[in-house]
Amino acid sequence: EMVALVGKNGTGKTTLINLITGFLKPTSGNLYFNQTDISDDSVKQRASRIGYVLQDPNQMISKTMIFDEVALGLQLRGLDPETIKKQVFETLKITGLYPYRNWPISALSFGQKKRVTIAAALVLQPEVLILDEPTAGQDLAHYSQMMDFLHHL
């Protein structure tokens, strides 16, 4: 299922995302995820269930190579190298990045970098994936490609 949160600039879309992910704490009320109150959960606890991809992929990317970037979260979770390789390759195939697995991220287009950050979130198998403006900064052709890609996830 795909759900879109739409609104004008400054209406609180990113603030809502930051409340959901735990980057901001609400001043009142509770936050529920699958009928479970997650209001007191840490960012780390929420990240185990909620994947989040920022609008600008350059703000998320910390490695120079595609494989390394997508593998990072699994490495931090302590998975063994063979499991990491298998899961990263599967995710790269799903996201259409497998042919580029050994490329430097700097060689990619903006849209491909977005796919890398989506792959880095997907490989962790979150229950839900939140994308902040996944089509921002793209022309109509790339917008259509990104939306087709997201529909096929």
Tens-place pLDDT, residues 3-37: 888 889 899 998 999 999 999 998 999 999 999 99
Outline where 51-151 has alpha helix (H): 66-76, 81-94, 110-122, 140-151
CA distance 135 to 127: 22
55-114 per-position pLDDT tens digit: 899 999 999 999 999 999 999 999 999 999 999 999 999 888 999 999 999 999 888 899
Strands (E), the chain: 32-33, 36-37, 50-53, 128-131
Q: What is the CATH number of domain 13-151?
A: 3.40.50.300
